[in-house]
Amino acid sequence: MLTNLGQSTAELLGNGHDPRLYLVHNTALEDLLFDRNLTGVAFRRACLRSSRHFIAQPNPFPGPQPTR
């Protein structure tokens, strides 16, 4: 199952027993992690953009969280 979260896409992983395991595809974060040519201002902008996308993601688990 894929969930579009605006700048990101969340892919539900596993066999459905644990609905809390997602793989998030985020272009800004992937650029930051894999573009070895990012330096200086471009690096700072990539950090800011990926941070903003991460913070803007809605909580896929509203309500009380399970305790361990």
pLDDT the model gives residue 34: 92
The pTM of the full predicted model, rounded to 2 decimals, is 0.57
Q: Which residues contact 8 (CB under 8 A, 6 or more apart)?
A: 24, 25, 26, 53, 54, 57
63 within domain boundaries: no
Distance CA 46, CA 12 (A): 26
Based on the structure, what is the number of domains in the chain? 1
Chain segment 11-41, per-residue pLDDT in tens:
777 766 666 677 778 888 888 889 999 999 9
Distance CA 3, CA 24 (A): 9
Q: Is residue 34 classed as helix, strand or coil in its secondary structure?
A: helix
**Domain coverage including residue 27:** 2-56
Chain segment 43-66, per-residue pLDDT in tens:
999 899 888 877 776 665 555 555
pLDDT the model gives residue 55: 74
H/E segment holding residue 32: helix 27-34
Distance CA 47, CA 52 (A): 9
